[in-house]
Amino acid sequence: MYLDSGSALARAVAYNIRRRERRFVSSVPVKVQRFLRFGPFTTRAIILDVSARGMSAIVCGAPRKGETVVIALPVRNSTLELLATVRHSSDAKSGFEFYPLSSIAQQEIQEWIKEMNGHEESLFPSLYEVASKLLSDS
């Protein structure tokens, strides 16, 4: 039996993904509070990456896409509570977009990200040199 599968193959399309904010790899444990039918429920999670607008994490009991959650993020000596929407979710990881943050919360996250940036640059200095040269050439 002959099957013509040549037309079923899709062409590879070149595309360029650019994010609005740079993401930083992290592995900080956080608490995620979900609001279920029977009331608020707090579960544990571990951040995979974070930016000023959102984060991705591995969550025990993945939330549903579109759900609103409160993320308790330990920053320095305090805990920062962030309201977020679940943008995507699977058993592997969930992505969250923060609601507009207060000026204090935004400042805390920016300072925390600056600390992570300095830590990454100290771990991978040659990687940052190569990346900056590539970005300046284009």
Choosing among 2.60.260.20, 3.40.50.720, 1.25.10.10, 2.40.10.220, the CATH entry for 17-137 is 2.40.10.220
C-alpha pair distances (Å), 95 with each of 27, 42, 84, 136: 15, 17, 10, 30
Q: What is the largest CA-CA distance in the chain?
A: 69
pLDDT digits 0-9 by tens, 8-59: 444 444 445 566 777 778 888 999 999 888 888 999 999 998 888 999 999 9
* Domain limits, the chain: 17-137
| Bigger pLDDT: 7 vs 51 | 51
Q: In terms of Cα–Cα distance, which of 62, 58, 71 is closest to 98?
A: 71
pLDDT digits 0-9 by tens, 121-132: 565 555 556 666
pTM of the predicted model, to two decimals? 0.70
Does the CA dihedral 92-84-86-51 come out positive or negative?
negative
List alpha helices for the chain, DSSP H: 103-123, 125-137
